[in-house]
Chain A
Amino acid sequence: MLAYLARRLLQLVPVLLVASFLVFVAARLTPQDPAVVMAGGRQTSTAVLEAIRAKYHLDESVPSQYLRWMAGALLGDLGESYRLKQGVSAMIAARLPVSLQLIAMSVAIALLAAVPLGILAALRKGSWVDILATSLSLAALSSPVFLTGILGILLFSYTLGWLPALGSGRNFAENLRYLLMPSVALALNMLALSMRMTRSGMIEAMRRPYIQTAILKGLPRRTIVLKHALRNALLPLVTITGLQIGFLLSGTVLVEYTFGLGGLGSLLVNAIQTSDYPVVQGLTLFIVSAFLLINLLVDLLYGIIDPRIRQA
């Protein structure tokens, strides 16, 4: 098991190297000039711009800049933002809690809704319940987050005054209120896929011979569905959820803009728009690593759920 983990972690390295190099180069291919952008649209002189370029090593060749950055990154120093006088690692760390909580809440809400719906649709396959559940989740999938977000704000913040319209709280508990609407907006989009995965997984599982066995044991329907069938239906759902979480790492940007949240998504988009290379590079490296780790966790989870895989 440990050897397996070690091997998987080692496999991350070449992927990270390639990804980081690609991002490094891509960032420098844009037509923006970071030195000028840093000077912020005010008059400067060539001397000042040259000084900025020298300070941030923008005058060196791309491979040389890359190696310099890589060396720092390996020691945990992702450099300093061009635009804001803050360390990239610190910027990521400051926004991480909000992003993490947003992702966690979205996934939880999505699954809490999708799994029961999927089970219901599978058990009543072809009936109006099935059709209704499928239609609802497709409608949810088609609603853009900023639309559902704004509608939510209109109803729950402005009209009813139950939930805050923007910003985030000071800690996890406060954030449960602040991030509720954004999480629901995101969850609606994830709902459809998770529900259909659960549904097809359940339909498959219920067809299996061991379900016949369970019936013959005289087990109540609830036990058969939840204890026997659902467990088997979960495997594809786990994979999909892992992918969705990976996407959400930066995919929350629209929700962040709508609700005025300081998360990783808006950080990345802002950094790209303003040629803030260190932030773009550092954050991309972080997101790629996180994504790979999530996939690793999904695989491990697979092994936990399915003992046959564990021993392979």
Chain B
Amino acid sequence: MSGLLSLRGLRVAFAGEGGAAMAVRGVDLELEGGEGLALVGESGSGKSATAKAILGLHDMSSTAVTGSVRFEGRELLELGEAELRSFRGRGASMVFQDPGTSFNPLLRMGEQVAEAFRSVAGLDRKAAREAALGLFSRLGIRDPVTRYAQYPHEFSGGMLQRMMILLALAGRPRLLVADEPTTALDVTVQAQVLLFLEELKEELGMAVLLVTHDMGIVAETSTRIAVMYAGRIVETGGTAEVLGSPAHPYTEALLEAMPRPGSRGTRLATILGLPPGVYEADSGCPFFPRCRHALASCMDGLPPSVEAGPGRKSACFRTHSLSLRGIA
């Protein structure tokens, strides 16, 4: 495998009141170096849990992570605490949804940035401060020295998110996992941040795993897309192809539900029903109750992931017999 990241049969189960909550029920995923992959799904589909599992961020005392997560050939799930610590920030890094809460409100911004440089880039205090100031300048912050001493609440959301991204890249990781990086931002700012992300991806030649529920942003940033439903990957493929002609009924439904220009005034399409709960055991195709193309035979066991075209996979019994509508 020349792949950068390879997930095989990844399962994440949380200890809960109703027993074990299966958030991720066997995920297979491949990511090449320098590639942009979008992991798309509704809330509760398990995409964030998948992302966190890669960085080893789950609380091991209450979570069971099984399967295989290989990064550059190394099995991450076998790493000890110290090894994980040196992996984070250098091998792979992560950015979260709400930049406002991602920073410590009581510490000065400059220090929080410099801290990253000291830790992952191994710089000394003086060099780290220089690097941090440089980061401020790069973001177009006027008077970086004054702003260095300011606190997170004195910066705008968009600025914070961009800072967060740069900070995550302080150790020049080969992979950046972005979990809903723009969801908490204004629409106008969203575009800025995405562009910023794209620039950096090019500049550093790193892979970006973009986790989102927003189909609208995947086109600009990711060349490939993986759709997740109820803890499983239901479709993977090139972004353009999947969006143009989805292979899985769930993908089709998702695309239909997207608000489009010109759709003003018409009712938004919804997917009726709810996804299966995390405590429910597997029995048949998980999308069965909500699928407009479902047949009785769809309930016979889990649909396997089959080839739906070159570089395309879909986990649907009826993959080859369906022709689904996408967006142009």
| A adjacent to B, CB under 8 Å | yes
CB-CB contacts of A227-253 with B at 8 A, as 1s and 0s? 110011000000000000000000000
Which of chain B's residues has its CB closest to A211's CB? B104
B39 close to chain A: CB less than 8 A: no
Taking a contact as CB atoms under 8 Å apart, the answer to whether B106 and A305 are in contact is yes
Q: When the two chains form their complex, are residues A308 and B151 in contact, meaning their CB atoms are under 8 A apart?
A: yes
When the two chains form their complex, are residues A209 and B102 in contact, meaning their CB atoms are under 8 A apart? Answer: yes
Report if A214 contacts B (CB, 8 A).
Answer: yes
Would you give the shortest CB distance from B93 to chain A, in whole angstroms? 6
Is A31 an interface residue, CB under 8 A from the partner? no
Asked whether A215 is an interface residue with its Cβ less than 8 Å from the other chain, the reply is: yes
Give the size range of A's interface with the partner. 20 to 34
Q: Cβ of B103 and Cβ of A213 under 8 Å apart? A: yes
Is B105 within 8 A of A209, CB to CB?
Answer: no
Please choose the segment from A57-65, A216-224, A264-272 that sits at the chain B interface, where 4 or more of its residues have CB less than 8 A away: A216-224
Given known contacts A210-B101, A217-B167, A218-B85, A231 and B106 CB-to-CB distance under 8 angstroms: yes
DSSP majority for the A interface?
A: helix
Size bracket of the B interface: 20 to 34
Q: Is the CB of A217 within 8 A of B106?
A: no
Q: Mark A156-196, 1 if CB is under 8 A from B, else 0.
A: 00000000000000000000000000000000000000000
Most buried by B among A210, A227, A232: A210
Q: Return the contact of B98 from the options A209, A214, A228 (Cβ within 8 A).
A: A209
Cβ-based interface call for A208 (8 A): yes
Measured in the bound complex, the distance between the Cα atoms of B108 and A306 in whole Å is 11
How far is B167's CA from A212's CA once the two chains are assembled, in angstroms?
13
Expressed in whole angstroms, the Cα–Cα distance for A215 and B93 within the complex equals: 10
Contacting chain A: which of B113-121, B272-280, B302-310?
Answer: B113-121
A307 within 8 A of B: yes
Instruction: Kindly provide the distance from the CB of B48 to the nearest chain A CB, expressed in whole angstroms.
Output: 11
Q: Hey, which chain B residues are within 8 Å of A228, CB to CB?
A: 104, 107
CB-CB under 8 A from A212, the residues of chain B are: 57, 94, 96, 102
Contact B116 A217 (CB under 8 A): yes
Are A218's CB and B104's CB within 8 A? no
Contact B105 A308, beta carbon cutoff 8 Å: yes
Given the interface contacts A212-B102, A305-B106, A306-B105, does A218 sit within 8 Å of B153 by beta carbon? no
**A209 and B57 contact, Cβ closer than 8 Å, known pairs A217-B116, A218-B89, A219-B115:** no
> Quick one: closest B residue to A209, CB to CB?
B101
Q: Which residues of A contact B137 (CB under 8 A)?
A: none
CB pair B88–A208 under 8 Å, yes or no, is no
Q: How far is the CA of A220 from the CA of B120 in the complex (A)?
A: 11
Instruction: List 5 tightest A-B contacts by C-beta distance, closest first.
Output: A218-B89, A209-B101, A307-B151, A210-B104, A217-B116
6 residue pairs of the A-B complex, CB under 8 angstroms, read: A214-B104, A216-B88, A216-B89, A217-B119, A231-B104, A307-B151
